[in-house]
Structure 1
Amino acid sequence: MSSSGFSSQSDDEDSDSSQKGSHESQKMSGEVHSHLEESIRPYIDLIDTLRSVGIHKDLALPTIVVIGDQSSGKSSVLEALSGVALPRGSGIVTRCPLELRLKKVPAVSWKAVITYSKKTDESVNLFAGPIKTSKLAYGKVAQSTHNEKKIEFTDPSLVEEHVAAAQNELAGKGVGICDELITLEIMSPDVCDLTLIDLPGIARVPVEGQPEDIGKQIKRLIMKYIKKLETINLVVVPCNTDIATTEALKMAQEVDPEGKRTLAILTKPDLVDKGTEKSILAIVHNKVIPLSKGYIMVKCRGQQQINEAVPLEEAAQMERDFFQSHDHYRCLLKDDKVTIKCLAIKLTQELVEHIKSSLPQLQEHIRNQLWNVKKALKGCEAGPPEDPKGAKEFLIETLNGFNEKIKSLLSGAPKNGNSLISQMRVEFRKWNDYLNSTKPSFNNSKELSENYRGRELPGFSNFIIFEKILQDRVAKLKDQAIDLLNVIRDIIIKQFTDVVSESFQNYNVLQNITKDKISYIQLNQQEKAEQRISEQFKMENWIFTQDPIFLKVLSEITNQTFSEKELPVFDKQCKYSQMLEAYYEIVVQRLANQLPLMITFYMLQETARLLSTDIMKLLEKSDVRELLSEASDVSRRRKDLRERLTRLSSATNTINNFLND
């Protein structure tokens, strides 16, 4: 008899016909499940293998994640699926993500392997001592690379203690949680082929010893898994609670509002108040909160059955008897919407279909990441030669490469989708818009005349008034011009610094020297630009423009035609404000062009020229090796890239072999 109840004999029915029907139904179901086993195991093995090589660190894998509020019956469901007892108790029992791999292996005795990465950070107060429980001594502990701990054992009764010990080592003894994954692989002829990940139950109120934000920590961990499009969310909901207020289902709806990735398990149907059974049936029939993957109801061992040590196989038979004899829920049996067995088959089918549909995209993601890692690793490993001559040539090549990138910036070539020149143009356009916004200010000539009136009697014009008004107006533009200079300076420094980081990413000394040069040159160039801007505004105090230019603008403003021949009667025919407006328009056009040209010349062109010349002077230094000394984190980055390359290459080979078989 199966430990999980998947191979149990038919129930005792009240009539021979019922018993015969049950036998035939179970035989047919067994044949279907046997056929499924042959076709589904390779797909589940594929994802298990990919996760084993660590590819989940680089991208999301198709998986089923189990979530639920505390005391929702989550542990009981997992026990019924796996056939083994998992950690139980009040409060948070699952304190680390637990990947449960169930493998149906015919003609093999029960065996389990628990694997997790050991914590090595001494600053974290974790339990890291030897396992004290004498029973655990029967487990074979194998220490693998990368601080991975693997324990093999053949006694099902040790599962709970091994999982608890792993959680204590990763999350510390007590009530804390940890993101580190624990993998429990169970191989037996009596389990279904399935892999899923169990997450901590959602806590509403912290208990003694828990941090105040334990609820937020758990939700953050859950959200990390369920928000991924590659994840099927398996939500455990007790029948005796209001499904609409269940926190786990709320979280699932938040990331999957259409319910396409969500399957709900209804537990504890025996605790439903009499008279509310029809409302439960409405939920199962997808009429309350619709989910495309639907609902399945199960009845696992209750606390009394656990206390009485009722075997899981007997509990599975009792579950079927409960539904068979229930007036309201009996109808769900024929629809395969009840029992752990139906749940196991449903989950397996859903997972395999999900893997099949995700495989092309998964393969493409791995291919793209592999290409990027190879490219990054190539740049990381292309270090300088050891001999002085080779090092000098390498330095020349590196510095030339830097100068080429700087020239590329000046040419307007896009960098990260946005060129330096285009960024500067945006700011210059803002400067132009600002200048234009200051123009509508000369429309009240009477007020202007009174404010600026000199000794003249009414009817006389005074050029000093004209000059003073314009000088005051133009002077107000200077602060904004300096602001423009500062903004452009920041853009240029950012772009140049990015080129430094890109060109000398492995060489801190070169980076620091070049960044210092950029700062020094920019500081000097900014002083020159500020001086030039100040001179420009001093020149603007001298009110001047060519007569034809002034008359042309004035004609455009007044819609009248003026020429130099009409100058003797000019002052009588034109309004004072229009003359001011005409000249100010000329000033705006002059400054709109002149300042961007000035700033571009000093801050960009001259900076690039001086920097390119100055950077090549580094070749005159004798300490080439010091200039090319690698940054301290380069080795760590190289190690990380190599590990990623190994994982991605292994994943590529695994998928290729799978597709070619």
Structure 2
Amino acid sequence: MDTLIPVINKLQEIFSTVGAELIQLPQIIVVGSQSSGKSSVLESIVGRDFLPRGAGIVTRRPLILQLVNVASVEDRKRAASGDSGILAEEWGTFLHCKSKMFTDFDDIRQEIESETERMTGTNKGISPEPIHLKIFSPSVLNLTLVDLPGITKVPVGDQPPDIEQQIREMLATYISNPNSLILAVTAANTDMATSESLKLARDVDPDGRRTLAVITKLDLMDAGTDAMDVLMGRVIPVKLGIIGVVNRSQHDINVNKNITDAIQDEQSFLQKKYPSLANRHGTKYLSKTLNRLLMHHIRDCLPELKTRVNVLTAQYQSMLNSYGHPIEDHNSTLLQIITKFATEYCNTIEGTARNIETSELCGGARICYIFHETFGRTLESIDPLTGLTTLDVLTAIRNATGPRPALFVPEVSFELLVKRQIKRLEEPGLRCVELVHEELQRIIQHCSTYNTQELLRFPKLHDAIVEVVTGLLRKRLPVTNEMVHNLVAIELAYINTKHPDFSDAAMVSASVNSSQSEVLQDGARKWKTDKGEERPPEERYKNTSNSTYSSPSKGHVVNLLDAPVPVSRKLSLREQRDCEVIQRLIKSYFLIVRKSIQDSVPKTVMHFLVNHVKDNLQSELVGQLYKSQLLDGLLTESEDTATQRTEAANMLKALQRASQIISEIRETQLW
């Protein structure tokens, strides 16, 4: 099981090279308030001075510290069969400069400071970009720790006003990882109930399964007080335990007191101050506890980690495939994309596309709706006599007769008025063409959406395809509109009064006369007296109609018809009859023409616009785009696609390498 921590270290290096945060690896996160002793704890665990020190906030970037236990120099020399080469006892390496080995820990401190300033400047700003440091030593246990900036309250230097919020968000990002252990550092000379590190840990780990508390500065407590209750867990219990340590004082650091002596003094202090607890506290016990907890935690997380790596490997393989391979044959690639787009466009019209919309009508279905619902209902809503008053009809009749009174209803008046009504069918037909044209435009976007990856890969080709299809539609629009104009013009050119469905004029006239006779007879029956006598002729026509009649003998004005007529004057019986005849004939002929237009306009749109585009789309695209001088430009990839392909390929390699490393762990190593 000792090999588990090096495995995690390898995985951490692999994913750090690609900047991946998808894999949440087991590690120990060190959190605490500013000047709580975090750096001293880490240096005590390593056994060397290597962290920057100073006033205020010193740790301004996360430091991912990997400790690797290696054999001593003597053991390595023996393993090398007496090789007299110079071997370092301890050394460190940084991920950002792998080729350089740091054997002087002062140089390691200087490199941390330089790398921090490179990202955050020389003042007190912070950055979430981590520094990766690996230390090899025979005196360390295998561990992976992350040192984070200390929690601060008041901004200093050029720190932003929300520096506290920024640090808390950074800490939350790391400790919210369910695979991490939280090392909450609190100084013994502060009230543990106000510990910021324990509060943060409890927010993300309310059960305490991942939290270990460290109490520093036990030797700096006020005289007469001790930390017995805190160390025993009586103040605030912590499930993984509470370990007390004694740090080097600033005076010890100033006089260069080495850590080995400091650890010996720590043990002496614990034996004297807390004899019953000395064997379960101190830096050495802390290192062993962290090593044990981390190994067991890695063992518990490993199955889920393996599953996660496998799932991500499949996802990134699919993602990489969607970006396509680098182009080898430009001609073939261009033809394939054009053919695929044209096929998808036509299939969308026919309703055989692979991707069927479920949220709204699209393509051919919408065109069908336009023909039979939008256009059809609009025509049916047009009344044959709308906008045509009785006075208009009477005026047309009189104008058609000239100076002589007509014995019959003039045919010219009927033709004049019916043409006026037929003309009103042209606008709905043109609107139908416009709606279908708009839908054909929308299909371009629909096809682009379902060929997103290929067309986004080549943005210039996408724009060129859209331009060609739009141009083809634009060319067909006036042709189709002209044909709709012609359909209406054809109907206006010849009024076919011999149409089999047209009402016979003589029959209409007879029907109107018959209706008027019945009205007069009904009125005559009412004029008889109770004794069967009839009234005088001049009285028979009183109050029986809104039309007027002048008695020749008396000069009275009498009514002839019951129905009121909305005109500026009263109509005579004949005028009323003539108007009604014309109106019935107009209605009869208009319905014939409307039915014909309702049938012919959709056919016209399909032939001149929809079918023409379907039949000629691919040849139009090939003719305008398949040119040698355009190939390189059209098939130029977008920078985003190229970048995404590279990132996906790098991530896939990292995941495959991670999967290989995890699979090499034998089952026996987990126990």
Q: Normalization by structure 2: what TM-score?
A: 0.59
Q: Within 5 Å, give how 1:319-338 maps onto structure 2.
A: 319-326=266-273, 329-334=274-279, 336=280, 338=281
Partner of 1:160: 109
Aligned to 1:508: 459
Q: Does 1:115 align with 2:94?
A: yes
Aligned to 1:72, the other structure's residue is in SS state coil
Kept in 1, the 8 Å contact 2:448–2:455? The answer is no
**Partner amino acid, structure 1, of 2:244:** M
Name the SS of the counterpart of 2:7 in structure 1.
helix
Mapped partners of 1:404, 1:272: distance in 2: 83
Asked if structure 2 preserves the Cα contact closer than 8 Å seen for 1:420 and 1:492, the reply is: no
Deviation at 1:241, TM superposition (A): 1.4
2:27 is aligned to 63
Matches within 5 A, 1:370-389: 370-388=313-331
Between the aligned partners of 1:608 and 1:223, the Cα distance in structure 2 is: 59
Structure-1 separation of matches of 2:118 and 2:286: 33
1:356 to 299, 302, 307: 299
**Aligned partner of residue 64 in structure 1, secondary structure:** strand
3-state SS, counterpart of residue 54 of structure 1: helix
RMSD between aligned alpha carbons? 3.9
Query: What is the CA-CA distance between 1:384 and the residue it aligns to?
Result: 4.6
- C-alpha offsets along residues 435-475 of structure 1, whole Å, 9 cap, x if unaligned? xxxxxxxxxxxxxxxxxxxxxxxxxxxxxxxxxxxxxxxxx
* Equivalence for 2:60: 95
Alpha carbons 2:92, 2:108 under 8 Å: kept: no
Quote how far apart the aligned CAs of 1:50 are.
Answer: 0.9
Q: d(CA) in 1 for partners of 2:215 and 2:193?
A: 13
CA distance in 2, matches of 1:495, 1:287: 67
For the residue of structure 2 that corresponds to 1:200, the secondary structure is: coil
User: For 1:651, which of 653, 658, 666 is the aligned residue?
Assistant: 658
Q: Is 1:621 aligned to 2:624, yes or no?
A: yes
Deviation at 1:404, TM superposition (A): 9.0
Q: 1:619 to 1:340 in 2, by over 3 A?
A: same
The 5 A counterparts of 1:400-439 are: 402-403=344-345, 419-420=358-359
User: Is the Cα–Cα contact under 8 Å of residues 98 and 181 in structure 1 kept in the other structure?
Assistant: yes
Deviation at 1:369, TM superposition (A): 1.4
The change in CA–CA distance for 1:609 and 1:509 in structure 2 (over 3 A counts) is farther
Residues 1:493 and 1:185: Cα distance change in structure 2 (over 3 Å): same
Contact 2:330 2:635 in 1 (8 A): no
| 1:379–1:502 CA distance, 2 compared to 1 (3 A) | closer
Q: Does residue 47 of structure 1 match 2:8?
A: yes
- CA 1:609 to 1:202, structure 2 compared with 1: closer, same or farther past 3 Å? farther
Q: Kindly indicate whether the alpha-carbon contact (under 8 Å) linking 2:345 and 2:443 is maintained by their aligned counterparts in 1.
A: no
- 1:403-552 matches, cutoff 5 A: 403=345, 419-420=358-359, 498-512=449-463
* Aligned mate of 1:314, from 235, 257, 261: 261
CA pair 206-494 structure 1, distance change in 2 beyond 3 A: farther
Work out which of the residue numbers 269, 289, 310 in structure 2 matches 1:367. 310
SS of aligned partner of 1:53: helix
> Match of 2:144, SS?
strand
Residues 500, 511 of structure 1: 8 Å contact kept: no
Distance 1:305 1:384, change over 3 A: closer
SS in 2 for 1:257: coil
- The residue aligned with 1:297 is 244
Contact 2:61 2:127 in 1 (8 A): yes
Indicate how the Cα distance of structure 1 residues 513 and 193 shifts in structure 2: closer, same or farther if over 3 A, else same. Answer: same
Deviates more, 1:511-520 or 1:164-173: 511-520
Deviation digits for residues 508-530 of structure 1, max 9, x if unmatched? 124335667999999x99xxxxx
Report how far residue 113 of structure 1 moved. Answer: 2.5
The offset of 1:252, in angstroms, is 1.8
How many angstroms does 1:267 deviate by?
A: 0.7
| Mapped partners of 2:36, 2:356: distance in 1 | 55
Change (3 A) 1:385 1:314: closer
Per-residue CA deviation, residues 214-235 of structure 1 (Å, 9 max, x unaligned), is: 2222222222211111111111
For 1:409 and 1:241, how far apart are their aligned partners in 2? 74
> For 1:16-41, what per-residue CA distance to the aligned partner results, in whole angstroms no more than 9, with x for missing partners?
xxxxxxxxxxxxxxxxxxxxxxx42x
> Structure 1 residue 207 and structure 2 residue 156: aligned?
yes
Contact 1:114 1:182 in 2 (8 A): no
* Pairwise CA distance, 1:322: 0.8
Q: Identity over aligned residues, as a percent?
A: 31
Aligned length: 441
**Residue in structure 2 matching 1:240, options 175, 181, 189:** 189
2:497 aligned partner: none
2: CA distance, partners of 1:633 / 1:609: 37
For residue 209 of structure 1, report the CA deviation from its aligned partner: 2.7
Q: Give secondary structure in 1 for the equivalent of 2:276.
A: helix
Asked if 2 retains the 8 angstrom alpha-carbon contact of 1:395 and 1:628, the reply is: no
Deviations 1:230-260 (A, max 9, x none): 1111111111212232222222222222222
Asked if structure 2 preserves the Cα contact closer than 8 Å seen for 1:110 and 1:156, the reply is no
The match for 1:281 is: 228
Tell me whether 1:72 sits opposite 2:36 in the alignment.
yes
Larger radius of gyration between Structure 1 and Structure 2: 2
Q: How far apart in 2 are the matches of 1:391 and 1:355?
A: 48
Distance 1:367 1:414 in 2: 32
Match of 1:470 in 2: none
C-alpha separation between the residues in 2 aligned to 1:100 and 1:519?
60
One-letter amino acid of the structure 1 residue matched with residue 54 of structure 2: G
Report the 3-state secondary structure (helix = DSSP H, G, I; strand = E; otherwise coil) of the residue aligned with 1:88: coil
SS at match of 1:331: coil
What is the CA-CA distance between 1:281 and the residue it aligns to? 3.3
Answering whether residue 203 of structure 2 is matched by residue 254 of structure 1, we say yes
Cα distance in 2, alignment partners of residues 513 and 315 from structure 1: 74
Shift of 1:286: 3.2
Match of 1:342 in 2: 285
Residues in 2 aligned to 1:250 and 1:286: alpha-carbon distance in whole angstroms? 16
Q: Which residue pairs with 1:631 in the alignment?
A: 638
Contact residue 323 and residue 453 of structure 2 kept, 8 A: no
> Separation in 1 of the partners of 2:650 and 2:658?
12
Instruction: Decide whether the 8 Å contact of 1:111 with 1:154 is kept in 2.
Output: yes
Name the CA shift for 1:396/1:49 in 2 (closer, same or farther; >3 Å). Answer: same
Q: Which residue of 2 aligns with 1:83?
A: 47
Deviation at 1:266, TM superposition (A): 0.8
1:394 to 328, 331, 336: 336
CA drift of 1:405 comes to 9.1
Deviation at 1:414, TM superposition (A): 8.3
Deviation of 1:496 (Å) = 6.1
In the alignment, is the contact (CA less than 8 A) between 1:514 and 1:615 conserved in 2?
no
**Aligned-partner Cα distance in 2 for 1:151–1:227:** 33
Partner of 2:168: 219
TM-score, structure 1 as length reference? 0.59
Q: C-alpha separation between the residues in 2 aligned to 1:294 and 1:609?
A: 78
Shift in CA distance, 653/303, structure 1 to aligned 2, threshold 3 Å: same
Distance 1:284 1:494, change over 3 A: farther
Kindly provide the amino acid, as one letter, of the partner of residue 33 in structure 2. Answer: D
Indicate the residue corresponding to 2:70 in structure 1: 105
* Superposition deviation, residue 115 in structure 1: 1.4
Instruction: Note the C-alpha offset of 1:157.
Output: 3.6
Kindly state the Cα deviation for residue 358 of structure 1 after the two structures are TM-superposed: 1.0
- Name the aligned partner's letter for residue 87 of structure 1: P
In 2 relative to 1, CA 387–104 (structure 1 residues): closer, same or farther, beyond 3 Å?
closer
The 1:304–1:392 alpha-carbon spacing in structure 2 relative to 1, beyond 3 Å, is closer
CA drift of 1:609 comes to 9.6
Tell me: CA distance 1:405–1:171, structure 2 relative to 1, closer, same or farther (3 Å). farther
**1:501 CA drift (Å):** 2.4
